[in-house]
Amino acid sequence: MSDKPPVSQQSLRYDATQDSVWIIDQTQLPHVLVERELKTLADACEAIEAMWVRGAPLIGVTAAFGLYLGLRSGAVTTPEVNAAVQRLAQTRPTAVNLQWALDRLSSILIPVDVAQRPARALSAALELHAEDVAACAALGEHGAVRLENLWHTKCAQAEERGESAPSQLNVLTHCNAGALATVDWGTALAVVYKACERGVPVHVWVDETRPRNQGASLTCWELGERGVPHTLIVDNAGGHLMQHGLVDCCVVGSDRTTREGDVCNKIGTYLKALAAFDNKIPFYVALPVSTIDFELADGLREIPIEERSAYEVTHISGLGDDGTVRRVRLTPAGTAVSNFGFDVTPARLVTGLITEHGVIEANAPALANLQARLSQA
């Protein structure tokens, strides 16, 4: 890792002096870093739906602040609170953190006097904001221990074979599970950042992540800003790299994980897990416990999979030689398109779930034990 300082800009920040909520507009990256102010509930809904913000943890925190923005004008009745919650809940169907955050704020706001609701909503949103940062930092530390152990094992195996010491630990990731997917640190990339702090020479293979190219535009931007060595690859190259011994482990994020360990993440994650399983490569999923849906058991049958606009597939945007961002068509006009946003990786393909409470196995007993620990905390 280079001496270049990490990005201090959080994906969402609250300015107490101005009572204002600001987000990074991720649709403008990597070409320009733009902040937008969210002033109303409608602004927060648009930010989530238009993917100015994305990533399960960040969506949840944004929804919490969106609810505050919808209440801060004054005393708000219970039906009005419920209507605001319902509007926010409709913005994205797959990421469980959204409903988790809304349920938490509802349980806080409904019992209190209407005059107290704006202040309580802000307090609760700020709590979620701080908790997200702390959770991601903690899970990053737990995951970094796994990467450090893998690195020491790789070095020892090379020595046993009489080979020169390896130069790096190769980690493959899919989509963007970095600071841009959370308030700060990230999930999968928090593991990378914390491993780098421990002196592990991590190199990241970055899937482009079609069709929105979050790997190419967001993950590469983040890693570059933090000075972490990385290489962009096309989505279908991961299996080839694994077959040739060029991947030491995979670390991805999650939008929803069931109580039996099935993991829903960006479309294409399942194929990486299959390739990793076939090549005996560890496949880790990094997630705060707010991303675990203890109400669901079977990910394939119970998790709603978002289908997005065909426009994301038929068109692509990029920076032209003249310095302007333009969008161009890739396909013949009228081409039929299927655009599922997520897929489900069965628990049997997951080596471990990296949480802020430690690394656990992806199975029902381990998750039941975690749930019991959480209920006692």
| Model confidence band, residue 94 (pLDDT cutoffs 50, 70, 90) | confident
Q: What gap in Å lies between CA 203 and CA 196, rounded to an integer? A: 10
The CA distance from 110 to 104, in Å, is: 10
Q: In the chain, pLDDT over 90 holds for what percent of residues?
A: 88
Q: Is 345 helix (H, G, I), strand (E, B) or coil?
A: strand
User: Tens digit of pLDDT for each residue in 294-307?
Assistant: 999 999 999 999 99
Give tens-digit pLDDT for 235-281: 999 999 999 999 999 999 999 999 999 999 999 999 999 999 999 99
103 counts as catalytic: no
Distance in angstroms (rounded) separating the CA atoms of residues 134 and 130: 6
Could you say which of 255, 262, 293, 343 is catalytic? 255
Question: Average of pLDDT values for 198-227?
Answer: 96
d(CA 220, CA 35): 19
Residue type, 287: L
pLDDT of residue 131: 95
Note the pLDDT of residue 281: 98
Give the chain's length.
377
Residue 79 confidence (pLDDT) above 70: yes
In whole angstroms, give the CA distance from residue 319 to residue 250: 30
Closest CA to 44 of 95, 99, 84: 84
Distance, first Cα to last Cα, the chain? 36
Instruction: Round to whole Å and give the CA distance between 229 and 170.
Output: 10
**Residues 69, 216: Cα–Cα separation, whole Å:** 33
- pTM of the complete model: 0.93
Instruction: Kindly report the average pLDDT of the chain as a whole number.
Output: 93
> pLDDT at position 77, please?
86
Question: Measuring CA to CA, which residue among 153, 235, 159, 133 is closest to residue 200?
Answer: 153
- For residues 348 and 270, give the distance between their C-alpha atoms in angstroms, rounded to a whole number: 11
What's residue 9's pLDDT? 72
Give the pLDDT of residue 96: 84
